[in-house]
Amino acid sequence: MKTFEEKWTAWLDGQLSGRELAEFEASLPDRAAAEAEKADVRKLGALLKREVGVSAFANEEFFSHQLRERIRESSVPSAKWEAKASTWWTIPRLLWTGTASLAVFLIFTVFVIRDKNPAEKSQYLTQILNARVDPVVSPNATVSMFEVKQDRVTVLWTEGLQSLPADYAAK
């Protein structure tokens, strides 16, 4: 057994027919007002149907737009990073890096050479450890040694060696 509200809703939707429709319309206290209300409801239904249809389409657009934005947002940073990574070693930067490396190498080289030089002035001069002259051949020979700081030459100076004729200067 349907209630009045159920029959009223069905009547508004045009779902009553036959005897049931006749009985319901006969039960209405103000038929004209009910027909007017039914007409309003149909207009409203048509309006809602139209509007709901449009809004549904708008929502679809909105969500797809949102989705596209999300995808773009998530893909843009990596694309930017890739672009950055692939373009960091540009020709000018390579040139600058090469120049800087060469400069660092030269600085290190200069430091190494500068570190060596002070030692060479003293410790790294040639040293004569000992010297012997054959006492039989040159019994009066003596040896001495000195260093010429200017050219860093070490000289072993002998005196009293046996003199030889000029023929010994032959090549």
Binding site for another protein (CB under 8 A): 89, 97, 101, 104-105, 108-109, 112, 120, 123-134, 137-138, 143, 148, 150-158, 161-171
Closest to another protein by CB, 79 or 112: 112
Closest to another protein by CB, 55 or 158: 158
The residue behind tokens 């149907």 is 49
CB 74 → another protein: shortest distance, Å?
A: 23
Q: How far is CA 140 from the centre of its chain?
A: 82
CB 98 → another protein: shortest distance, Å?
A: 9
CA-based nearest residue to 20, from 8, 35, 37, 38: 8
Helix axes 4-12, 18-27, angle to 10 degrees: 110
Q: What angle do CA 54, 60, 66 make, to 5 degrees?
A: 135
Residue 104 to residue 111: CA distance in whole angstroms: 11
Closest to another protein by CB, 57 or 124: 124
Residue 113 to residue 99: CA distance in whole angstroms: 21
CB 170 → another protein: shortest distance, Å?
A: 4
CB 61 → another protein: shortest distance, Å?
A: 43
Closest to another protein by CB, 67 or 153: 153
